[in-house]
Structure 1
């Protein structure tokens, strides 16, 4: 993994949703980053300004302060500009950050900001679909319903946790995706490297695909169980194709579709993420 010099310049892009969700964490992260490196801070108002700021980064290393959607947006912009190979991304998670944490990014503004300053770049695989979309963590068919976030505990740490919860209640929040009900068993053909893992004649309850290691995707198909629980079918390969009648899927933090055919291929070591050294 490549280690960064603290003297390099950072482009800190603060996603607008993060500013609404938890302004205190944004402020703390910005202060820690500014104390440890030369920073230029951008406050885009929406996705277009976000993309423009990232495209004009110059020699600065980009740091995204935001949720999982902001992280995926940054990777997508760099991928479509064909600039992922030469750009290491850093992220300070604020908001819904299960994806970032699953990739190894520390939780909490201070820990994540320190990892940006002192961490190292790790090259990670991702999935690229035939519409040029990217998947960092995994995808599922059918999409699972969106679950409401658990309420935050009230603590006595200067009332900060209680204050953040109050601000989130009073401030105009970011609209959440509507829950997507499970449509029940699907009839899908799933191919891994051109070979059928399951065909249309076998109803399935769920299909999951995730980047693995060594340029291979991990695929799991759960057939419809009648009586005893059916054994999942697992496979690994470089390309995965799913064919079916108007199916939807959840990729990372977003629901896509309906589509009748989608192919994903693994791009090995396609993107770099700054993580704590030694993690």
Structure 2
């Protein structure tokens, strides 16, 4: 799982945990990150094969500062583990982003350099930025945005299928299209939710007003507030700033950063100001 590297010339004591997906998708960027980190620190390199080994490596880091190499899912996994071990407060985490651009949007929004060299240097010599954390009542965390989306559907459409069934359905649909004209299609209609949204105990939207989507985004600067936006079926955008947001009503699913959770009937998210630290490049000037 791990391989000790010859100590570098720097004084940093680092634990570098490299996600297996990163190793498979971009081995060259991983190699560059390892070289830069090892040259500038006493680095212990860990190569976990799965989530359990990833968690074990973090829990056994001792006094070493953790650096994770991977995408947004890797960062979220590391923060979640440290939060559940109640070790985020005094810990500074670093990320070297490796992966597809679509899976690095969170890292980019947080200010992490996208290049392996620049990110590794920030992990070594950057400054700690304290960031807010959204924590729910099941101990889940959100680093960036929480979304309860509208679910597009067409009238009379059947539930989506996956795998072999989807391929077979596609083939049958193609055959039907070739042998007879396709019927007129109607525009997609968003499926609305019946949700009650409370911000710091104040009702922003109640069950009698259907909701298309809800978004909760941490302001991120350590101020302890989140931006809440509720899009109603009437086309309104209801907004608020809050420390705590409770959503309740009919079963709903939600997307927290890269993870989809639910269905649940009620969930409360609370902003914890400056709850975690991320190593970022030192601002010039």
Q: Do the structures match in fold with TM over 0.5? A: yes
| Distance in 2, Cα, partners of 1:87 & 1:269 | 12
CA apart distance, 1:231: 3.4
Equivalent in 127, 130, 135 of residue 128 of structure 1: 135
Contact conserved, 1:12 with 1:42, CA < 8 A, in 2?
yes
Residue 46 in 1 paired to residue 56 in 2? Answer: no
Is residue 2:105 matched to residue 1:101? no
- Aligned-partner Cα distance in 2 for 1:223–1:6: 55
Deviation at 1:58, TM superposition (A): 0.7
Runs ≥4 in structure 1, deviation > 3 angstroms?
none
The question of whether the paired residues in 2 share the 8 Å contact of 1:142 and 1:183 is answered with no
Cα shift at 1:142: 1.9
Q: Secondary structure at the match of 1:18?
A: helix
Structure 2 Cα separation of the partners of residues 219 and 23 of structure 1: 39
Alignment partner of 1:190 is 2:197: yes
Pair 1:273–1:143, CA change in 2 (3 A): farther
Verify the 8 A CA contact 2:150 2:192 in the aligned structure 1.
no
Aligned-partner Cα distance in 2 for 1:48–1:76: 13
- TM-score by length of structure 2 reads 0.79
**Structure-1 residue corresponding to 2:64:** 60
Give me the CA root mean square deviation: 1.8
State the structure with more CA Rg.
2
Tell me, yes or no, if the aligned pair for 1:143 and 1:248 is still in contact at 8 Å. Answer: no
Q: In structure 1, what is the equivalent of residue 158 of structure 2?
A: none
Structure 2 gaps of 5+ residues are: 1-8, 153-187
Partner of 1:105: helix, strand, or coil? Answer: coil
User: Does structure 2 retain, via aligned residues, the 8 Å contact 1:143–1:255?
Assistant: no
Which of the pair has the greater relative contact order for Cα pairs under 8 Å at 6+ separation?
A: 1
| TM-score of the pair, normalised by structure 1 | 0.81
Q: CA deviation at 1:7?
A: 1.1
CA contact (8 A) 2:95 2:123 kept: yes
Secondary structure at 1:186 match in 2 = coil
Instruction: Work out the number of aligned pairs and report it.
Output: 236
Aligned equivalents of 1:46, 1:11: Cα separation in 2: 17
Q: Does 1:242 align with 2:251?
A: no
Q: CA deviation at 1:267?
A: 0.7
- Structure 2 CA distance for aligned equivalents of residues 35 and 10 of structure 1: 12
5+ residue gaps, structure 1, are 146-180
